[in-house]
């Protein structure tokens, strides 16, 4: 029995900050897959362990689904789609159900944030301040949007009526990463469900628990059985089965570029399902020499690379700074980094928690090693800390003297590691910024309007922020150029395009 499973939430928001460490001890988790409105064991009866990255301890065991479970979940989603229990509801009815769901997520925010922190290692206060409000806002935005989208009548001859209508695409498979599990789940589910589709979610094996708690809230909100399903398990088995399933009409993936490629292959080798990929990044933050006040800039740069332990696809991991101000900026940055303490994710004031798992921590440390070997100058951090806790913590790390050919400047580290690269001219900054296979995001700091326009247009990335580090809100699209994305955009009305088919209907008038 899950504590806090009833409406109203065990840990209400808008109250004093609870003792999260004490609450964590009393939490019970859903650990079975959620298929056709019910929590069920995996067909094979297998389970896998989920670990708390802050302590290295096992939190619980979760059903390990494989292709057999995916078959059952997809069949349920397909049946729900075809009989119209959700897909044929009036948009305003789907809106109401999604609004109820958003309200339930909001009411249960503290519990969900705690689950997210235990499973992912992020500071619980970050989950409360960022992940949960984002998930709620996403659900609300797409719920509100869906009965305000009009179809079209095209300007054909007067004895013809030609309608251009949007219809739900059908069964959507969604494969989710571990860095913002619930926020990204909501980013998929909001437009997918608002549009009338059914969905089968495959969360990352490291961070499954919040998706299962969310599933309970889906049922409580009155969304019919079969419309929303969660298959828990591993990418190579459950994820691949979803990607290859002939009855999945669209596969929406967020994760690494490497795994994203597989989904194109799965689609090509199965039913040519639509594939939408939101992938990695190596985003530049460019600081021109015309800036005056460095303090707000260093604060933004720190958020850009340190928020969420640097496990952020749009992290500003390459600092491109004009050589004239590099020393001053670096000094201010080093001072400011001291305010980003690494600590227990459940303790108030912790700004950097644990990275997701030991393997990933070692991968980040491997990049730090390669930075040293390739001639980077380590100016702060670089080590594992808090080892005595059993958790996986890494200090905020800065490399100076990096050139854009080094491994740490080219590959996505997905950790709190910043590479500082200097430039002499605006043109050189643009050239370095674009010299990457990725194109997810970029930031630019300048007081010169001409430079702001020129650089923001010249950068090949899906989001360019000038004088800020912004990931936007629901009203603007989010996604990547080049190898950072494929097939669409999340957020905003653009997200609805991804999960709908366009149909033309011709009518000859007599």
Q: Which letter, b or e, does each residue of 459-487 get, where b requires 16 or more Cβ atoms within 10 Å of its Cβ?
A: bbbbbbbbeebbbbebeebbbbbbbbbbb
Question: Would residue 65 show up in a list of annotated catalytic residues for this protein?
Answer: no
Work out whether 95 is an interface residue with ligand TAP (CB under 6 A).
Answer: no
Closest separation in Å from C-beta 486 to ligand TAP: 10
- Interaction pattern, residues 229-268, with ligand TAP; x per rule: CB under 6 A: -----xxx--xx--x----------xxx--x--x------
Of the residues 111, 205, 313, 357, which is catalytic? 313
CA atoms of 413 and 416, how far apart (whole Å): 8
Strands of 401-484, DSSP E: 417-423, 441-445, 463-466
CA atoms of 331 and 327, how far apart (whole Å): 6
Which residue in 111, 125, 278, 471 binds ligand TAP (CB under 6 A)?
A: 278
Cβ atoms 318, 421 nearer than 8 A: yes
Of the residues 106, 278, 311, 412, which is catalytic? 278
Q: Single out the segment in contact with ligand TAP by CB under 6 A; choices: 36-44, 63-71, 169-177, 466-474.
A: 169-177
Which residue in 145, 176, 288, 291 binds ligand TAP (CB under 6 A)?
A: 176
Which residue in 27, 145, 172, 204 binds ligand TAP (CB under 6 A)?
A: 204
What is the 8-class DSSP label of residue 319? Answer: E
* Among candidate residues 322, 317, 321, 311, the one with its CA nearest the CA of residue 283: 317
Residue numbers 409-468 binding ligand TAP by CB under 6 A: 412, 414, 440
Closest separation in Å from C-beta 206 to ligand TAP: 6
Work out whether 131 is an interface residue with ligand TAP (CB under 6 A).
Answer: no
Which residue in 23, 73, 175, 409 binds ligand TAP (CB under 6 A)?
A: 175
Size of the site for ligand TAP (CB under 6 A): 28
Closest separation in Å from C-beta 171 to ligand TAP: 17
Closest separation in Å from C-beta 503 to ligand TAP: 29
3-state secondary structure of 49: strand
CA atoms of 431 and 436, how far apart (whole Å): 10
* Among candidate residues 478, 492, 482, 488, the one with its CA nearest the CA of residue 459: 482
Render 487-506 in DSSP notation, one character per residue.
S--BSHHHHHHHTEEEEEEE
Question: Would residue 278 show up in a list of annotated catalytic residues for this protein?
Answer: yes
Interface residue list for ligand TAP (CB under 6 A): 175-179, 202, 204-205, 234-236, 239-240, 243, 254-256, 259, 262, 278-281, 313, 412, 414, 440, 480
Active site residues: 278, 313
């Amino acid at each position: 029995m899950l504590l806090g499973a009833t409406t109203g939430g065990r840990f209400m928001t808008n109250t004093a900050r609870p003792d999260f460490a004490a609450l964590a001890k009393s939490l019970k988790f859903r650990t079975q897959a959620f298929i056709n409105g019910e929590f069920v064991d995996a067909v094979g009866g297998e389970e896998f362990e989920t670990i708390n990255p802050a302590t290295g301890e096992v939190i619980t065991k979760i059903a390990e689904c494989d292709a057999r479970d995916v078959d059952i979940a997809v069949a349920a989603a397909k049946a729900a789609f075809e009989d119209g229990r959700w897909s044929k509801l009036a948009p305003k009815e789907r809106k109401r159900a999604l609004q109820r769901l958003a309200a339930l997520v909001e009411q249960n925010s503290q519990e969900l944030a705690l689950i997210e922190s235990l499973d992912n290692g992020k500071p619980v206060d970050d989950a409360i301040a960022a992940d949960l409000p984002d998930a709620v806002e996403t659900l609300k935005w797409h719920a509100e949007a869906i009965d305000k989208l009009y179809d079209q009548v095209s300007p054909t001859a007067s004895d013809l009526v030609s309608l251009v209508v949007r219809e739900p695409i059908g069964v959507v498979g969604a494969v989710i990463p571990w860095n913002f599990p619930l926020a990204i789940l909501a980013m998929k589910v909001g437009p997918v469900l608002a549009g009338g589709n059914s969905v089968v979610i495959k969360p990352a094996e490291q961070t499954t628990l919040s998706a299962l708690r969310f599933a309970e809230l889906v049922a409580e909100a009155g969304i019919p059985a079969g419309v929303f399903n969660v298959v828990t398990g591993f990418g190579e088995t459950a994820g691949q089965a979803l990607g290859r399933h002939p009855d999945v009409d669209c596969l929406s993936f967020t994760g690494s570029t490497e795994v994203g490629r597989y989904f194109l292959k799965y689609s090509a080798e199965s039913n040519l399902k639509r594939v939408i990929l939101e992938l990695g990044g190596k985003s530049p933050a460019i600081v021109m020499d015309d800036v005056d006040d460095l303090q707000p800039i260093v604060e933004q740069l720190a958020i850009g690379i340190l928020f969420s332990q640097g496990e952020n696809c749009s992290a500003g991991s390459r600092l491109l700074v004009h050589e004239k101000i590099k020393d001053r900026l670096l000094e201010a940055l080093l001072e400011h980094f001291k305010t980003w303490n690494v600590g227990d994710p459940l303790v108030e004031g912790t700004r950097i928690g644990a990275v997701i798992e030991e393997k990933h921590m070692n991968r980040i440390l491997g990049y730090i090693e390669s930075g040293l070997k390739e001639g980077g100058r380590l100016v702060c951090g670089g080590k594992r800390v808090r080892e005595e806790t059993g958790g996986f913590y890494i200090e905020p790390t800065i490399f100076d003297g990096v050139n854009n050919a080094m491994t740490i400047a080219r590959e996505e580290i997905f950790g709190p590691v910043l590479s500082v690269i200097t430039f002499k001219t605006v043109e050189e900054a643009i050239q370095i910024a674009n010299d990457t296979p990725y194109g997810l995001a970029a930031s630019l700091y300048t007081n010169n309007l001409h430079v702001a326009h020129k650089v923001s247009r010249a950068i090949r990335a899906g989001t360019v922020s000038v004088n800020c580090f912004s990931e936007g809100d629901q009203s603007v699209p989010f996604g990547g150029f080049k190898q950072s994305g494929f097939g669409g955009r999340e957020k905003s009305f653009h997200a609805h395009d991804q999960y709908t088919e366009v149909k033309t209907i011709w009518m000859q008038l007599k």
